[in-house]
Every structure is written in C-alpha cells, then in structure tokens.
Amino acid sequence: MQQPGAFINGERVHTEANVEVIDPSTGQPFATTPDCGPAEVEQAVEAATIAARSWRSVAVPERARLLRNIAALVERDRESLAQIEARQTGKPLKQARRDAEITARYFDFYASGVEMLYGSTIPLNNDTLVYTSWEPHGVTGHITPWNYPLQILARSIAPSLAMGNGCVLKPAEEAPLTALMMAELAVEAGIPAGLFNVVTGYGETAGAALTQHRGIGHLSFTGSVEVGKVISHAAAENVIPVTMELGGKSPNIVFADADLDRAVPVLVNAILQNAGQTCSAGARLLVEESIHDELVARLREVFAGVDIGPALTDPTLGPVISQQQLDRVMGYVEIAKDEASISYGGERLSGGSYGSGYFVQPTLIDQVDPASRLAQEEIFGPVLVTSTFKDADDAVRLANGTDYGLVAGVWTTNVSTAHRMIRDVVAGQVFVNTYGASGGVELPFGGFKRSGHGREKGFEGLRGFAQVKTAVVAL
Ligand code: ADP
C-alpha cells in the first residue's frame, strides 16, 4: 500500500492517523495519506509565507521559465500521473491522460500569460504619472474536489504561482495522490521549497484549518454549494477574496432544426465523461417537442452500447467515486421510478468483472417535471434527465429555471436562435453546436447564481490571483 506523506516545505510529512484512498473500480483501499490538522496547516502556511516573500521579487521571465519546467515534467510523467489519477478517481484512462495533458497546458499557458500581463498608465493630468501594477496576495489557499484533481489543481496553482504567490493546497481526501506528485514535480522543476505545499486529510479538519488561517490572502474553492457557503463565511471572517466554483445543472438545449448526427455523440459525452461527475456536465437535456421521440431513441441506442468497466481497462464509462456517491445516484433513480420514466439504465452493476466497484449504468430519465428535484439538483452521476420545450421562450425559461448557471449548450442551425440563446441563457459559458465539459484552459470559466462567482481559466483566471496597485507620482 502506498503511503506518501503530505508535502510541506519541500518535505514529506507523516502523521500518526491516516486516511485511506479507495480504488472506486474495486472498492478496495490501495493507499493512505496523512490525516493532517491545524498543526500541519500551520507549518504549511508558514513555509509558504516565507517562500512567497522572495518569490514575489523573482523576475517574471524566471517565474515563467520555472512554470514551463513544471509543464515539461508533467508531460514527461504523463503516463504515471494518468495511471494514478485513473486509479484514485475511477475515470477511464484516456480521460486521465487528457487531464494530465491539460495540466501541463495550464502551466505553459500561465507562464505565457504572466509574461503578457502588463499594468496600465492612466492619463490623469500632464503633471502626474499614474500607473498600475499587479501585486500578489501573499499565500493562497486551494481546496479542490475529487472529480478532476489534476486539472483543478493546475487551474489555480499555476496562475497563483505565476503571479508571485505561495500556495497551500488541500486536495479531496478521496483522491489526493496526484496532488502530492505535482508538488514533488514542482520542486524538481526548480520551484523553491515551501512555495507549493499539499496538506492532505479531511475537509472538516485540514480544510477548515486552512480556510480559517489568518495567513491566507485568497481562497479558491471548487466543490459543493454547502461547503462553499462554509468557506465563504471563513473568507468573510478574514476579509479575503474567494473564488467559488460550485457546480451546476447545465442544460443542453436541442432545437428541432439541430443536426442530430453532430449532437448525439456530444450529448452523450457531456453526461458520461467522468461518469457524470463533472461540474459542467450536460445534465439536463431540453429538447423541442417535435424531435423528442427521435432524439431519446437515438440516445437510448448509444447508451445501450456503452462499454463500462474498471478505469485502467480504459472503458467509456468507469465507476463513480465512492459508496456515498453511488448511494446518492441510486437515490435519484428511486425518485425517478415514482416521478418520471426511466428510459434506459438505472441499475447498479456488481459482481463478475464489476466486483465491488461503484458502477452504475448510463441512465436516461425521460419526461422529467422541470420543477422536480431530478431537474433541479446536481446528481453527479451518469444520469441524464430530459424535458421538452415548445419554443425558444420556453427553452430559455427552462434553461434558467434552476439555482445554477455554469454552462449551457445550444443546438440549432439557425444563427438568430443561437445568438438569442447566448444572450438570454444565464450561464458562465454558452456553447453552440458543441459542448465543453472540462478542458478549455484558455476559456474563462465560472458560474452565475449558485454556481459560484469569480472566474478561473484564461486570462481572467490570472487576474484573480493578484490585486491592482495604483501608483500616483507628481512630476
Ligand atoms: P464533493 O461534494 O464534491 O465531495 P465537497 O464540497 O464535499 O465536494 O468537498 C470539496 C472539497 O472541500 C474537498 O477537498 C473537501 O475535503 C473540502 N471540504 C469539505 N468540507 C470542508 C470544510 N468544512 N472546510 C474546508 N474544506 C472542506
């Protein structure tokens, strides 16, 4: 059994108590990581504070060079990172390989980004020189979930380091192993020890100690709305900025004039990628009445052919992350039995090649009442719910009819309909005739409404890790 330590000040740190990491494909533990608490968080924040003092004065080209080194090492170790990522999350190997590629790309992108991020001069009057510069927050805290451990780490650690901050990361207890690998790679890349620390353990202990620590200047959190509220309170207590990415119930809106040959594979991937455990999963299918039967029949046919299996056999659909997540998904299936029609799937798969892994069939729940829990709540499993709409106004009403607003997909061949939907649908990203669950390093990403606030990815994500200083010089 692997027992990697937490990573603090460039060193492996062990604790007496440990947290098991379970392989969702088998239901068996295969590693443990330290059960860190306030003492380890204290050490990590102190190390990051000291390291960040010098790092902020390291010239931007040098910071960028070191970030590019990290990218190169991630590419070198892509296969081992992908294997561990697949094993700890249950995601199919090809998806984990892609995650590792995207991780490298974040470090490359933000290396270039920081080199291109200039301040401005402000023409106040002829006798005064006014300019702005970007200042780091100091130490940034990062709380990440288990669904995309590598990618979500990279999208906040890379810009934070680029802008001159030190970092302390608390990865999800279910899937902490690749974060520890990344921290070691950063040191190998030449990032000073102490600048990027990983404190493992539970949210209520290690996570809470980190989010409440007075030495933290900025928090980024990706996870559930409930925990997001707790962390927002902690941030408010210390009066620090916080970026919240809290999930969604994102619609794919399919008009009767859509090219279904193009749409169907994308709609399927939007819900089955990472077993539906993607914040931006295309979890609601809103379909124009006249093509409902045809589209549902086509989706059912594709769902029936999906290969399901352990992550390392590289299937299309792997298990969900945990027993708890499996119970949650099956709970929604129970609701569907009473309230809607299960058009395909709805069964847990076990025994034989599935063993005691957490496998669920791809599931299509049809004719869902848009007001019901099935249509309103994030299921976070391979479960697609469908409702029909009459016209564009109706589609907008349904699309906007949840608490969330993360991503939306629009499928139409009418250019006016497309732009009208982009204008009216409340979501941080709107895709037309395509859908982008995860990925998209360059594309600003984040939610409206309860999906959170602040933007990660792209140039927007870089600015979030710094504050503007305005200098006023009388000549
Ligand atoms: P999910 O529903 O995806 O498991 P959570 O919101 O429960 O998401 O967890 C996301 C991250 O937040 C994990 O790293 C978890 O350990 C952490 N976390 C959970 N509770 C707290 C808390 N009270 N304070 C800080 N972090 C927490």
Please check whether residues 93 and 123 belong to one and the same domain. Answer: yes
Give the tens place of pLDDT for each residue, 99-122. Answer: 999 999 999 999 999 999 999 999
Is 16 within a domain? yes
Tell the burial category of 312 from Cβ atoms under 10 Å away from its Cβ (0-12, 13-18, 19+): middle
Check if the beta carbon of residue 455 is closer than 8 Å to that of residue 461.
yes
The atom of ligand 1 lying closest to the CA of 173 is 16
Distance between Cα 230 and ligand 1 center (Å) = 10
Query: With contact defined as beta carbons under 8 Å apart, do 87 and 311 qualify?
Result: yes
In the predicted model, is pLDDT for residue 58 greater than 70?
yes
Whole-number percent of the chain with pLDDT over 70: 99
**Predicted pLDDT at 299:** 98
> Does 447 reside within a domain?
no
Give strand ranges (E) for 126-224.
128-136, 139-143, 166-170, 196-198, 218-222
User: Do 129 and 177 belong together in one domain?
Assistant: yes
Together in a domain, 207 and 337: no
Average pLDDT over residues 50-65: 98
Which pLDDT belongs to residue 437?
61
Q: Among 41, 88, 143, 220, which residue has the most ligand 1 atoms within 8 Å of its CB, making it the best to mutate?
A: 143
Question: How far does residue 22's CA lie from ligand 1's centre (Å)?
Answer: 17
Domain count, the chain: 2
Whether 167 is catalytic: no
For the segment 285-315, what is each residue's pLDDT rounded down to a tens digit? 999 999 999 999 999 999 999 999 999 999 9
| Same domain flag for 206 and 322 | no
Report the alpha-carbon distance of residue 163 to residue 470 in Å, rounded. Answer: 17
CATH number of the domain at 111, please. 3.40.605.10
The model's pLDDT over 384-438, given as tens digits with 9 standing for 90+, comes to 999 999 999 999 999 999 999 999 999 999 999 999 999 999 999 999 999 986 5
| 255 contact partners, CB below 8 Å, separation of at least 6 | 288, 392, 395, 410, 411, 412, 414, 417
pLDDT, tens only, 85-104: 999 999 999 999 999 999 99
Same domain, 274 and 408: yes
Active-site residue identified among 46, 245, 378, 456: 245
- Residue 449 — φ and ψ, nearest 5°? 50, -140
The one-letter amino acid code at 163 reads M
- Of the candidates 40, 85, 167, 279, the residue annotated as catalytic is 279
Considering the chain, what is the average pLDDT of its residues?
A: 97
20 and 104 both lie in a single domain: yes
- Mind listing the pLDDT tens digit for each residue in 337-351? 999 999 999 999 999
Q: How confident is the model at residue 174 (pLDDT cuts 50, 70, 90)?
A: very high
398 and 462 inside one domain: no
Q: Are residues 378 and 231 part of one domain?
A: no
At what angle are helices 260-272 and 292-304 packed, to 10 degrees? 50
Task: Respond yes or no: is residue 334 known to be catalytic.
Answer: no
Ligand 1: lining residues by beta carbon, under 6 Å: 143-145, 170, 172-173, 202-204, 207-208, 211, 223-224, 227, 230-231
**Count H helices, E strands: the chain?**
15, 24
Domain interval for residue 374: 251-441
**Mean pLDDT score, 154-180:** 98
Nearest to 421 by CA among 388, 393, 444, 453: 393
Same domain, 255 and 390: yes
Q: What is the mean pLDDT of residues 308-327?
A: 98
CATH of the domain at 380: 3.40.309.10
Instruction: Tell me which residue has its CA closest to atom 21 in ligand 1.
Output: 203
1 band by pLDDT with thresholds 50, 70 and 90: confident
| CA-nearest residue, atom 3 of ligand 1 | 223
Q: How confident is the model at residue 439 (pLDDT cuts 50, 70, 90)?
A: low
pLDDT in tens, 213-267: 999 999 999 999 999 999 999 999 999 999 999 999 999 999 999 999 999 999 9
Residue 197 lies in a domain: yes
